[in-house]
């Protein structure tokens, strides 16, 4: 089972061919069905030997297909101080990309 560790959106993900995962939104104009290439590959393991980057592996890429662009469920942020008439409520929906991993090279 071949897998890789990639870095995107300030986070690291362990991915294998066929995986579907939610990642942070990537800047630029994208639509569902687009191909995305991740070049910040930290580690590749093909079952026999492991390659570790310093910090990235030169020439290694992970190909993915963008399946969906969406937003997570709303998170309510409430600030409240008793006896002082202070109350603030704020909502936030984090955008995400759902990608399917096609290949590891």
d(CA 62, CA 98): 15
What are the φ/ψ torsions at residue 30 (nearest 5 degrees)?
-130, 155
Residues linked to residue 71 through DSSP beta bridges, in sequence order: 95
Confidence (pLDDT) at 23 = 96
Tell me what pLDDT residue 47 has: 86
pLDDT, tens digit only, all 105 positions of the chain: 899 999 999 999 999 999 999 999 999 999 999 999 999 999 999 889 999 999 999 999 999 999 999 999 999 999 999 999 999 999 999 999 999 999 998
Contacts of residue 83, defined as CB under 8 A and 6 or more positions apart, other chains included, come to none
**Would you state the pLDDT for residue 1?**
83
The residues, ordered by sequence, that sit 6+ positions from 1 with a Cβ below 8 Å of its Cβ are: 16, 47
* Distance, C-alpha 60 to centroid of its chain: 17
Contact 58, 94 (CB under 8 A): no
């Amino acid at each position: 089972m071949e897998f890789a560790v990639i870095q995107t959106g300030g986070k690291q993900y362990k991915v294998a061919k066929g995986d579907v995962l939610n990642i942070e939104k990537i800047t630029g104009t994208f639509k569902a069905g687009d191909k995305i290439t991740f070049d910040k590959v930290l580690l590749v393991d093909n079952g026999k030997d492991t390659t570790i980057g310093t910090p990235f592996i030169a020439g290694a890429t992970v190909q993915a297909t963008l399946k969906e662009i969406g937003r997570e469920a709303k998170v309510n942020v409430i600030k409240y101080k008793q006896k002082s008439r202070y109350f603030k409520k704020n909502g936030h929906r984090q955008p995400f990309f759902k990608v399917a991993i096609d290949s590891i090279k």
